[in-house]
């Protein structure tokens, strides 16, 4: 299995632009998680889906952030408009039902100038 696949690996954009991060979970996994990693705040859970349905989005920092999971093999995290303080590494992780282990992708490093 290829594992969790995230794209792009790096994204550089200007303040005010829309940014879309993509994630393909491991086939057969039914839970998907979006995390943000910064030096100041560490690894933070933004939102997670179960069977494509958003369950808990309490970690989404503000309305500029939105996430979707249109099917079991694809999810997006969108930031509109982006701000410099959004600069971070964003990770996607997936999990098989009944198991505790979360498998992480390699992350997307976002820089907002």
Nearer to other proteins, 82 or 108 (CB): 108
Binding flag, residue 56, other proteins (CB under 8 A): yes
Task: Return the residues of window 78-107 that contact other proteins according to CB under 8 A.
Answer: 91, 93, 95, 100-107
Binding flag, residue 75, other proteins (CB under 8 A): no
Return the closest-CA partner of residue 41 out of 75, 82, 3, 85: 85
Give the nearest distance from C-beta 81 to other proteins in angstroms: 27
Q: 10 Å Cβ neighbour count for 52? A: 16
Site size for other proteins, by CB under 8 A? Answer: 20
Binding flag, residue 72, other proteins (CB under 8 A): no
DSSP line for the chain = ----EEE-SEEEE-TT--EEEEEEPPTT--EEEEEEEETTTEEEEEEEEETTEEEE-TT--STTEEEEEEETTEEEEEESS--GGG-EEEEEEEE-TT----EE---EEEEE-
Task: Return the residues of window 8-27 that contact other proteins according to CB under 8 A.
Answer: none
Binding flag, residue 52, other proteins (CB under 8 A): no
What residues line the site for other proteins (CB under 8 A)?
4, 31, 33, 42-43, 45, 48, 50, 56, 91, 93, 95, 100-107
């Amino acid at each position: 299995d290829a594992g969790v696949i995230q794209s792009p690996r790096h994204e550089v954009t200007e303040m005010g632009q829309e940014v879309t991060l993509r994630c393909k979970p491991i086939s057969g996994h039914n839970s998907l998680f979006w995390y943000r990693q910064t030096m100041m705040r560490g690894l933070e859970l933004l939102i997670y889906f179960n069977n494509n349905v958003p369950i808990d989005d309490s970690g989404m920092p503000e309305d500029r952030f939105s996430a979707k999971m249109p099917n079991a093999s694809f999810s997006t995290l969108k930031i509109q408009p982006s701000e410099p303080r959004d600069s971070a590494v964003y990770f996607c992780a997936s999990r098989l039902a009944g198991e505790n282990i979360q498998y992480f992708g390699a992350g997307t490093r976002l820089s907002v100038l």
